């Protein structure tokens, strides 16, 4: 059976069993015989939320209007009411926590990269110093000049093949041309 409610001039046709979830209406309907309509001097916009909450307690009822639930004597858990600012605040806190975690991970990664780069630079420096310190005698006959191991020939003979009579030009760091690379 439906009941007509006039809430500040706005007419609502509501089911009796639903509206009786409110202690206010339950007591009113038990004590009185209603012939036409029940007139309620409250906000009709807020009553829409109240009735929706009575229909479904999972309805996202605005937390800021909990006093309307109090007026209609409807039991509720304040922590389960919808609070858009509270939800945004919770999401913001979660995002800040995630950003902080990402920053921490990035700094750890940057530290690891810096350590690896430092190790590589150290190894290259040691290798380069060792290469520069390896001096040898020029492979050309009767040349006693020293050369850097990296170049395999002294500066005077660099660019000439060590094989007598060969006019080919060797590749950059070799003392022999390609034709004689494996002859020595």
Beta strands in the chain (DSSP E): 2-7, 10-15, 37-40, 135-137, 146-148
* Chain centroid to CA 162: 62
How deeply is 175 buried, as exposed, middle or buried, from its count of CB atoms within 10 A (0-12, 13-18, 19+)? Answer: buried
Dig out the tokens for 18 from the structure: 């639903």
Alpha-carbon gap, residue 131 to 126, rounded angstroms: 9
pTM flag (> 0.75): no
Q: What is the pLDDT of residue 97?
A: 92
Per residue of the chain (184 residues), give pLDDT as tens. 789 999 999 999 999 999 999 999 999 888 888 888 999 999 999 999 999 999 988 888 888 888 999 999 998 888 777 776 666 677 788 889 999 999 999 999 998 998 898 888 888 777 666 555 556 667 777 777 776 555 566 777 777 777 777 888 887 667 778 787 777 6
Domains of the chain in start order, with CATH, are 2-72 (3.30.710.10), 138-183 (no CATH)
Q: What is the pLDDT of residue 150?
A: 55
């Amino acid at each position: 059976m439906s009941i007509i409610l006039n809430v500040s001039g706005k007419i609502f046709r509501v089911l009796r069993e639903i509206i009786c979830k409110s202690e206010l209406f339950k007591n009113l309907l038990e004590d009185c015989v209603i012939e036409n309509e029940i007139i309620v001097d409250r906000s009709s916009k807020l009553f829409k939320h109240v009735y929706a909450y009575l229909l479904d307690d999972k309805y996202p009822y605005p937390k800021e209007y909990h006093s309307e639930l109090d007026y209609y004597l409807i039991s509720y858990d304040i922590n389960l009411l919808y609070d858009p600012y509270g939800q945004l605040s919770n999401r913001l806190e979660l995002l800040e926590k995630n950003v902080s975690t990402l920053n921490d991970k990035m700094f750890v990664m940057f530290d690891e990269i810096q350590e690896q780069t430092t190790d590589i630079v150290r190894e290259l420096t040691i290798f380069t110093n060792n290469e520069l310190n390896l001096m040898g005698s020029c492979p050309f006959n009767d040349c006693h000049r020293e050369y850097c191991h990296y170049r395999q020939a002294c500066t005077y003979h660099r660019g000439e093949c060590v094989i007598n009579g060969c006019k080919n030009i060797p590749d950059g760091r070799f003392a022999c041309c390609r034709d004689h690379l494996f002859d020595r």
